[in-house]
Amino acid sequence: MERFDCRLLSRRTLSEGVRELAFARCDGQPLRFVPGQYVQVLFAADSYQGCYYSLSAPPQADGTFKLCVKDDDGLGARTLFALELGDTLAFAGPDGQLVLDREPGDAQRDVLLVATGTGIAPFRAMSDQLDARLSAGRRVQLLYGARQPVGLLYDDIWRELAARHEAFSYVATVSGEAQAGQEGVRRGRVTAHLAAALVASEAAQGELLALLCGIPAMVSEVRAALRDAGLDAAQIRTEY
């Protein structure tokens, strides 16, 4: 993977303990990536030790890129949260296979996206692609889970996409005890709503493309459920 230094341009809080950070390469070159890929934050410029973060915005005309970072007390989050505007940091990448159009014929497939927490980041980066796919007549479903409604990141983007496209189904669900506070949010884990999503796409399951991102337990559980429902391993994509 290519190494490069970047400068922190801006940061904003998405929810409690989650920030979106915008970077630009110090050499002035754009970061060229496929939505769904990740970069590696390097802890030292002379090593490949670091943490991986999905790019969390579509490719920008000015070549900048964004990361969605949760304060999980890990070294990666501590490093990123400690940056001041203008500070520089070493990166490597981009890389990753959690992308929409990886194989011939992928553009003609309906899509099921399943995410929890900051696992929504790669799908946010795909939002322009999803818009184009919906305009081309394909169906897209997004199941997105968090503990509380405030943890549903980029919720306004998904609702706006659903308002413009009848073929886009957005199911937001929360698993925490305090469920009130946001209209249109369901209860339970994403796995509780998976069966309904599969029923809705039953006619196209042989061509369905499923992309999963979030906590490992959810990814494993959903992958197993999709295999039990008849999807081939090649129809299911994850980051690992």
pLDDT band at 195 (very low <50, low <70, confident <90, very high): confident
Instruction: Quote the pTM value.
Output: 0.93
One domain, residues 192 and 165: yes
Q: With contact defined as beta carbons under 8 Å apart, do 210 and 235 qualify? A: yes
Distance between CA atoms of residues 29 and 11, nearest Å? 21
**What is the predicted pLDDT for the residue at 204?**
58
Q: Which residue has the tokens 């991986």?
A: 52
101 inside domain: no
User: What is the 3-state secondary structure of 52-70?
Assistant: EEEECCCCCCCCCEEEEEE
Mean pLDDT confidence for 181-185: 72
Count of domains for the chain: 2
pLDDT of residue 57: 98
State mean pLDDT over 179-183: 59
pLDDT of residue 179: 53
Domain hosting 116: range is: 106-237
Report yes or no on 200 lying in a domain. yes
Q: Determine the pLDDT at residue 240.
A: 75
81 shares its domain with 120: no
Last residue of a domain, one of 74, 95, 116: 95
54: Cα separation from own chain's centroid:
7
User: Does residue 203 lie within any of the structural domains?
Assistant: yes
CATH code of residue 25 = 2.40.30.10
Mean pLDDT, rounded, of the chain: 92
